[in-house]
Amino acid sequence: MQWKILLTDGLAAISDEALLAKVDLVDKKGISAEELLEVIGDYDAMIVRGRTKVTEEVLAAGKKLKVVGRMGVGVDNIDLQAAKGHGVTVVNAPVATTVSVAELTMGLMLSLIRGITKADAGIKAGQWLKKELVGTELYQKTLGVIGYGHIGEAVGKRAKAFDMNVIAYDPIRPAEEITAAGATPVDLDTLLAQSDLITLHIPHIPPTHYLLNAEAFAKMKDGVRIICAARGGVIEEAALLKALESGKVAGAALDVYETEPAGDSPLAKHPLVVDTPHVGAQTKEAQLRAGHDILSEVVAGLDEEPLRWQVA
């Protein structure tokens, strides 16, 4: 028997022939919400990225639906309570993109403190901005990592290679595990007060919505720098913009926004912000790993085998 699986946002090429033999993959990349409701009843499973919204309505229409797979980490586009109510298992691929996001985070950090994007734009415009581009070093700075899971830990290890002092706040992970992974566990207020740079690696869920808000910025050092390659919505963008304009925050590097594409966002256009268009997971290696990981996990769910990454 082949399981019929709908791909709503594409899937990297899979080379595992034994795995492919178990499935009938139907690629409807870019499918509209309306069409999804019309066809989902024909499928045993679906694999999505962040674009596709798996709502109560979609789950109710999926009469045969047993498993929803999310390529990558975040599952904020899937109604987890509705999935439980309809007996649908939700899985993700949380480790496939770890290296790619961690490397981008370090790249954003370096671009931010050394003005790399401004330097590049200046040269391309025929300007030699040498005197204006006085940066700072990562060496011996304190990096506060909010969320010390797979990606946060990977960032922490790379930061240690720059001789940074790494402190971490994670409300779920035990302190002894954070210590064993090379960081100093602290509470959130301590992290905000002590960090020279703060990077976020947390999902966007109700408890983390606007985790960095006006109150949080007020607790930070003057001249702090913010990096976020996690999810839009964990930072209150209006509060960050005010903090940049007041000088409280010296700069920010953002791969994610509350609304994407960022469009005419004044924060995205601010001269002290380095922007990338949600490309944290966009490497060839990460996509290959994520494709294999999520398909194998979805098939395991369909076959009622043990799961590694069940979310709901």
What digits encode the pLDDT tens for the residues 140-184?
999 999 999 999 999 999 999 999 999 999 999 999 999 999 999
Asked, colleague to colleague, whether 3-96+284-302 and 98-275 share their fold, the answer is yes
Residue 1, pLDDT above cutoff 80 = no
Q: Which residue out of 56, 177, 215, 260 is catalytically annotated?
A: 260
Q: What is the pLDDT of residue 74?
A: 82
Q: What is the pLDDT of residue 13?
A: 84
Q: Is 260 a catalytic residue?
A: yes
pLDDT in tens, 232-248: 999 999 999 999 999 99
Reported in sequence order, the residue ranges of 3-85 that DSSP labels E, i.e. its strands, are 3-7, 23-27, 45-48, 67-70
Q: What is the pLDDT of residue 73?
A: 83
Tokens 């947390």 belong to: 202
The residue extents of the domains of the chain are: 3-96+284-302, 98-275
pLDDT in tens, 112-151: 999 999 999 999 999 999 999 999 999 999 999 999 999 9
Residue 36, pLDDT above cutoff 80 = yes
Tell me: domain 98-275, CATH 3.40.50.10950, correct?
A: no
Q: What is the pLDDT of residue 267?
A: 98
* Backbone angles phi and psi of 198, in degrees to 5: -125, 130
Q: What is the pLDDT of residue 174?
A: 98
Q: Looking at residues 71-78, what average pLDDT do you find?
A: 88
Per CATH, the number for 3-96+284-302 is: 3.40.50.720
Distance from C-alpha of 303 to C-alpha of 298, rounded to nearest angstrom:
9
Q: Which residue out of 231, 258, 289, 297 is catalytically annotated?
A: 231
Distance from C-alpha of 287 to C-alpha of 300, rounded to nearest angstrom:
20
Q: Looking at residues 180-208, what average pLDDT do you find?
A: 97
Percent of the chain exceeding pLDDT 90 equals 94
Q: Is 292 a catalytic residue?
A: no
Q: What is the pLDDT of residue 284?
A: 93
Q: Is 215 a catalytic residue?
A: no
